[in-house]
Amino acid sequence: MKNILFALGLATAMALPAYAQAREVTFTTQLSNYGGDGAYLALYLTDADGQYQGTLWIAGQKSKYYKHLRGWARGSGMNKAEYDGLTGASVTSGRTQNVTLELDDALIDAGYQVRVDTAVEDMRDNRSDVVAPLTTEGSGKSVAGRGYVQSFVYNLK
Query: Which of the residues 45 through 74 are near other proteins (CB under 8 A)?
Result: 50, 64, 67, 70-71, 73-74
Site map for other proteins, 11-40, x if CB under 8 A? ------------------------xxx---
DSSP notation for the chain: --EE--HHHHHHHHT--TT--EEEEEEEEEEP---SSPBEEEEEEE-TT--EEEEEEEE-S-GGGGGGSHHHHHHHTT-HHHHTT-EE--B-TT-EEEEEEEEEGGGTTSS-EEEEEEE-TTS-EEEEEEEEE--TTTTT--EE-SSSEEEEEEEE-
In the complex, the smallest distance separating the C-beta of residue 53 from other proteins, rounded to whole angstroms, is 15
In the complex, the smallest distance separating the C-beta of residue 23 from other proteins, rounded to whole angstroms, is 30
In the complex, the smallest distance separating the C-beta of residue 124 from other proteins, rounded to whole angstroms, is 4
In the complex, the smallest distance separating the C-beta of residue 61 from other proteins, rounded to whole angstroms, is 9
Query: Which of the residues 90 through 129 are near other proteins (CB under 8 A)?
Result: 122-128
* Rounded distance between C-alpha atoms, residue 102 and residue 4, angstroms: 7
User: Which of 78, 131, 143, 153 lies at the binding interface for other proteins (CB under 8 A)?
Assistant: 78
Q: Which is nearer to other proteins, 20 or 78 (CB)?
A: 78
Binding site for other proteins (CB under 8 A): 35-37, 50, 64, 67, 70-71, 73-74, 77-78, 122-128, 146-147
